[in-house]
Amino acid sequence: MMDRDDPSAAAAGAAHAALTDRILEFLRGIGMAVCEAEVPEGSFLPGIRIERGGLRVDRARLRWPGDLLHEAGHLAVVPTALRSGMDDDLAELPPVPHGGEIEATAWAWAALRHLGLDSAVLFHDGGYHGRSAGLRTTFELGVYLGASGLAAAGLALLPAQVVAGGPPAYPHMLAWLRD
Protein backbone atom coordinates (compact mmCIF):
# COMPACT_ATOMS: atom_id res chain seq x y z
CA MET A 1 0.00 0.00 0.00
CA MET A 2 1.29 3.44 -0.92
CA ASP A 3 1.94 5.96 1.86
CA ARG A 4 0.18 9.14 0.73
CA ASP A 5 2.52 11.26 2.87
CA ASP A 6 5.65 9.87 1.20
CA PRO A 7 6.58 12.09 -1.77
CA SER A 8 8.72 9.37 -3.38
CA ALA A 9 5.83 6.87 -3.18
CA ALA A 10 3.47 9.45 -4.65
CA ALA A 11 5.93 10.14 -7.49
CA ALA A 12 6.35 6.41 -8.15
CA GLY A 13 2.58 6.01 -8.21
CA ALA A 14 2.20 8.88 -10.66
CA ALA A 15 4.96 7.46 -12.90
CA HIS A 16 3.29 4.02 -12.83
CA ALA A 17 -0.05 5.58 -13.80
CA ALA A 18 1.51 7.66 -16.59
CA LEU A 19 3.33 4.62 -18.00
CA THR A 20 0.14 2.56 -17.85
CA ASP A 21 -1.77 5.35 -19.63
CA ARG A 22 0.85 5.55 -22.37
CA ILE A 23 0.85 1.79 -23.00
CA LEU A 24 -2.94 1.55 -22.97
CA GLU A 25 -3.22 4.49 -25.38
CA PHE A 26 -0.84 2.71 -27.76
CA LEU A 27 -2.72 -0.59 -27.51
CA ARG A 28 -6.07 1.05 -28.14
CA GLY A 29 -4.54 3.05 -31.00
CA ILE A 30 -3.49 -0.10 -32.86
CA GLY A 31 -6.96 -1.60 -32.47
CA MET A 32 -6.38 -3.84 -29.47
CA ALA A 33 -9.49 -4.38 -27.36
CA VAL A 34 -8.82 -3.10 -23.84
CA CYS A 35 -11.33 -3.09 -20.99
CA GLU A 36 -10.56 -1.51 -17.64
CA ALA A 37 -12.31 -3.51 -14.94
CA GLU A 38 -11.59 -5.49 -11.81
CA VAL A 39 -9.34 -8.52 -12.24
CA PRO A 40 -9.61 -11.05 -9.43
CA GLU A 41 -6.64 -11.55 -7.15
CA GLY A 42 -4.63 -14.58 -8.15
CA SER A 43 -4.73 -13.93 -11.90
CA PHE A 44 -1.73 -15.26 -13.86
CA LEU A 45 -0.29 -11.73 -13.94
CA PRO A 46 -1.35 -9.18 -11.34
CA GLY A 47 -4.05 -6.91 -12.75
CA ILE A 48 -4.19 -8.37 -16.28
CA ARG A 49 -6.29 -11.00 -18.01
CA ILE A 50 -6.71 -12.00 -21.60
CA GLU A 51 -10.44 -12.15 -22.08
CA ARG A 52 -12.51 -12.64 -25.26
CA GLY A 53 -9.62 -11.60 -27.48
CA GLY A 54 -8.74 -8.46 -25.58
CA LEU A 55 -7.08 -7.29 -22.40
CA ARG A 56 -8.86 -6.74 -19.12
CA VAL A 57 -6.83 -4.39 -16.94
CA ASP A 58 -7.25 -3.62 -13.25
CA ARG A 59 -5.14 -0.54 -12.53
CA ALA A 60 -5.38 -1.11 -8.78
CA ARG A 61 -3.79 -4.56 -9.09
CA LEU A 62 -1.46 -3.95 -12.07
CA ARG A 63 2.05 -4.38 -10.74
CA TRP A 64 4.19 -4.06 -13.88
CA PRO A 65 2.82 -1.99 -16.78
CA GLY A 66 5.27 -3.67 -19.18
CA ASP A 67 3.34 -6.92 -18.73
CA LEU A 68 0.58 -5.27 -20.76
CA LEU A 69 2.88 -5.28 -23.78
CA HIS A 70 3.73 -8.96 -23.47
CA GLU A 71 0.12 -10.04 -23.01
CA ALA A 72 -0.92 -7.83 -25.92
CA GLY A 73 1.80 -9.55 -27.93
CA HIS A 74 0.08 -12.89 -27.36
CA LEU A 75 -3.08 -11.45 -28.88
CA ALA A 76 -1.35 -9.60 -31.72
CA VAL A 77 0.58 -12.56 -33.14
CA VAL A 78 -2.48 -14.79 -33.46
CA PRO A 79 -4.65 -14.53 -36.60
CA THR A 80 -7.78 -12.41 -36.25
CA ALA A 81 -10.03 -15.46 -36.69
CA LEU A 82 -8.60 -17.00 -33.50
CA ARG A 83 -7.96 -13.83 -31.50
CA SER A 84 -11.59 -13.17 -30.51
CA GLY A 85 -11.81 -16.53 -28.75
CA MET A 86 -8.64 -16.11 -26.71
CA ASP A 87 -8.64 -15.99 -22.94
CA ASP A 88 -6.10 -16.60 -20.18
CA ASP A 89 -5.77 -20.28 -21.02
CA LEU A 90 -3.52 -19.88 -24.05
CA ALA A 91 -2.70 -23.59 -23.94
CA GLU A 92 -6.15 -24.36 -25.33
CA LEU A 93 -5.43 -22.52 -28.60
CA PRO A 94 -4.82 -24.69 -31.63
CA PRO A 95 -1.16 -24.60 -32.68
CA VAL A 96 -0.51 -21.36 -34.56
CA PRO A 97 2.68 -21.19 -36.62
CA HIS A 98 4.65 -18.11 -35.59
CA GLY A 99 2.09 -17.22 -32.93
CA GLY A 100 3.77 -18.39 -29.74
CA GLU A 101 5.61 -17.14 -26.69
CA ILE A 102 8.78 -16.13 -28.52
CA GLU A 103 6.86 -14.09 -31.10
CA ALA A 104 4.81 -12.44 -28.32
CA THR A 105 8.06 -11.43 -26.64
CA ALA A 106 9.50 -10.08 -29.90
CA TRP A 107 6.26 -8.16 -30.53
CA ALA A 108 6.43 -6.68 -27.03
CA TRP A 109 10.04 -5.59 -27.62
CA ALA A 110 9.05 -3.87 -30.88
CA ALA A 111 6.22 -2.07 -29.07
CA LEU A 112 8.59 -1.06 -26.28
CA ARG A 113 11.05 0.38 -28.82
CA HIS A 114 8.22 2.11 -30.72
CA LEU A 115 7.17 3.79 -27.48
CA GLY A 116 10.78 4.71 -26.61
CA LEU A 117 10.64 2.97 -23.24
CA ASP A 118 13.49 1.49 -21.23
CA SER A 119 14.05 -2.25 -21.61
CA ALA A 120 13.48 -2.77 -17.88
CA VAL A 121 9.82 -1.81 -18.37
CA LEU A 122 9.28 -5.04 -20.32
CA PHE A 123 12.01 -7.21 -18.83
CA HIS A 124 11.46 -6.21 -15.19
CA ASP A 125 12.95 -8.20 -12.34
CA GLY A 126 9.61 -9.76 -11.42
CA GLY A 127 8.99 -11.41 -14.79
CA TYR A 128 10.05 -14.05 -17.25
CA HIS A 129 10.65 -16.71 -14.60
CA GLY A 130 13.90 -15.11 -13.46
CA ARG A 131 15.26 -14.67 -16.99
CA SER A 132 14.56 -10.96 -17.39
CA ALA A 133 18.16 -9.80 -17.12
CA GLY A 134 19.30 -12.29 -19.76
CA LEU A 135 16.47 -11.36 -22.12
CA ARG A 136 17.13 -7.67 -21.56
CA THR A 137 20.80 -8.15 -22.50
CA THR A 138 19.96 -10.36 -25.48
CA PHE A 139 17.51 -7.90 -27.02
CA GLU A 140 19.68 -4.86 -26.21
CA LEU A 141 22.53 -6.54 -28.10
CA GLY A 142 20.26 -6.90 -31.15
CA VAL A 143 19.71 -10.64 -30.87
CA TYR A 144 16.00 -10.60 -31.59
CA LEU A 145 14.52 -13.91 -30.56
CA GLY A 146 11.18 -14.35 -32.34
CA ALA A 147 11.79 -11.74 -35.05
CA SER A 148 11.93 -14.42 -37.75
CA GLY A 149 8.48 -15.63 -36.68
CA LEU A 150 7.11 -12.09 -36.91
CA ALA A 151 8.60 -11.81 -40.39
CA ALA A 152 7.09 -15.15 -41.43
CA ALA A 153 3.71 -13.90 -40.19
CA GLY A 154 4.06 -10.73 -42.30
CA LEU A 155 4.37 -8.39 -39.33
CA ALA A 156 8.01 -7.33 -39.78
CA LEU A 157 11.03 -7.62 -42.05
CA LEU A 158 14.36 -9.23 -41.32
CA PRO A 159 17.50 -7.30 -42.34
CA ALA A 160 17.96 -9.53 -45.41
CA GLN A 161 14.43 -8.65 -46.58
CA VAL A 162 14.89 -4.88 -46.50
CA VAL A 163 15.08 -3.10 -49.85
CA ALA A 164 16.43 0.39 -50.45
CA GLY A 165 13.73 2.98 -49.87
CA GLY A 166 11.44 0.44 -48.20
CA PRO A 167 10.46 -0.07 -44.61
CA PRO A 168 13.22 -0.81 -42.10
CA ALA A 169 13.87 -4.15 -40.45
CA TYR A 170 12.54 -5.32 -37.11
CA PRO A 171 12.06 -3.90 -34.49
CA HIS A 172 10.09 -1.72 -36.89
CA MET A 173 6.71 -3.39 -37.48
CA LEU A 174 4.86 -3.50 -40.79
CA ALA A 175 1.63 -4.20 -38.91
CA TRP A 176 0.82 -4.48 -35.23
CA LEU A 177 -1.99 -7.04 -35.53
CA ARG A 178 -1.88 -10.21 -37.55
CA ASP A 179 -4.65 -10.62 -40.16
Predicted pLDDT of residue 9: 79
Predicted pLDDT of residue 1: 46
Predicted pLDDT of residue 84: 86
Q: Which residue stretches of the chain have pLDDT < 50?
A: 1-2
* pLDDT tens-place string over residues 63-88: 999 999 999 999 999 999 999 889 88
Which of 50-55's residues contact partners 24+ apart within 8 Å by CB, and which partners?
50/74, 50/75, 50/86, 50/87, 50/88, 50/90, 51/87, 51/88, 52/84, 52/85, 52/86, 52/87, 53/83, 53/84, 53/85, 53/86, 55/27
* pLDDT tens-place string over residues 3-29: 556 777 788 889 999 999 999 999 999
| Distance, CA of 26 to CA of 138 (rounded, Å) | 25
Q: Break the chain into its structural domains and give their ranges.
A: 7-161
Predicted pLDDT of residue 53: 93
Predicted pLDDT of residue 85: 85
